[in-house]
Chain A
Amino acid sequence: MVHIKRLQEDGADIISVIGEIDASSSIELDLAIAKSVGEGFKKILVDCSALEYISSAGLGVFMSYIEELKDKNIPMVLFGMKEKVLNTFSILGLAELLHIVPTKPEAKKLADELSV
């Protein structure tokens, strides 16, 4: 069960992911990122501080946007991830393909740098 909230801060769309993402709920994350892109946001920050679990279905959603966001020059930065969740990204080397930082200020800074 996952709950997703979106709010906007300094021109960035912040997607907060709360709970667990598995094969039954990954569509919610997919829709939230698709909306953010569709609404024309130029920076996407994903707040993972309340994300308790992610399976490959959720990893796959993030992975599937890497090329599209690169083509559209939209940086997406994930932040606040718990160690056990970060480990899931790291097992497959996905942590190196995505932008993941510890805190929101660092996420904002990186998104600013990447969008120049």
Chain B
Amino acid sequence: MSYQYNIGCSLSNLKGIREFVRSSLKDQQVPEIEMSAIVLALDEMCSNLMIHAHHCNPDHMLELHIDIPATGKLIFEIVDDGSLFNINDFHEPELGNLVHQKRKGGLGIRLVKAIMDSVEYLKRDEKNVCRLIKVIK
């Protein structure tokens, strides 16, 4: 099975992304706690891209693809043509430092890395593809 959702880079569209992910996976018998974590990871990745690569311009589009092969894993791809924002290059500060500095940011990437089994980047048709893989046990 595969699903696709195209959406403008407005933070008000995050709810639609969450609903799309949840409805696409509804027949996969993913436990609720795991489902919520997956939805969260996609929300975090899309909001990061919207804010940092597209400056929340609603005319800029993201494509979200979900591919469900029969191999016990879920493949998510976010396709865009903004500047590349590679979370693997991002160094996460210690949680204690974030608290001390009274910072609000810096948590989303940690969440994505904790939830997903892999995050990789590739180019396809001159576009950036961020591929996230979640193994379903």
Q: Which residues of A contact B (CB under 8 A)?
A: 1, 20, 22-24, 26, 30, 53, 55-57, 59-61, 63-68, 83-84, 87-88, 91-94, 97
Contact = CB atoms under 8 A, between A and B. Distances in A.
Interface stretch (B36-44, B60-68, B73-81, B128-136): B36-44
Nearest to A67: B102
Contacts, number: 87
Contact of B15 (A20, A59, A66): A20
Nearest to B50: A23
A86 B110 CA distance: 16
A92 B110 contact: yes
B41 to A, nearest CB: 10
Contacts of A24: 11-12, 14
B33 A22 contact: no
Contact of A97 (B47, B99, B105): B99
B103 A92 contact: no
Interface of B: 11-12, 14-15, 18, 32-33, 36-37, 39-40, 43-44, 47, 50-51, 95, 98-100, 102-108, 110-111, 114-115
Secondary structure dominating the interface of B = helix
A64 B102 contact: yes
A48 to B, nearest CB: 14
A92 B111 contact: yes
Considering residues B14, B37, B99, B107, which has the most beta carbons from chain A within 10 angstroms of its beta carbon?
Answer: B107
Contacts of A97: 95, 99
A16 to B, nearest CB: 20
B93 to A, nearest CB: 12
Given A61-B104, A87-B33, A67 B99 contact: yes
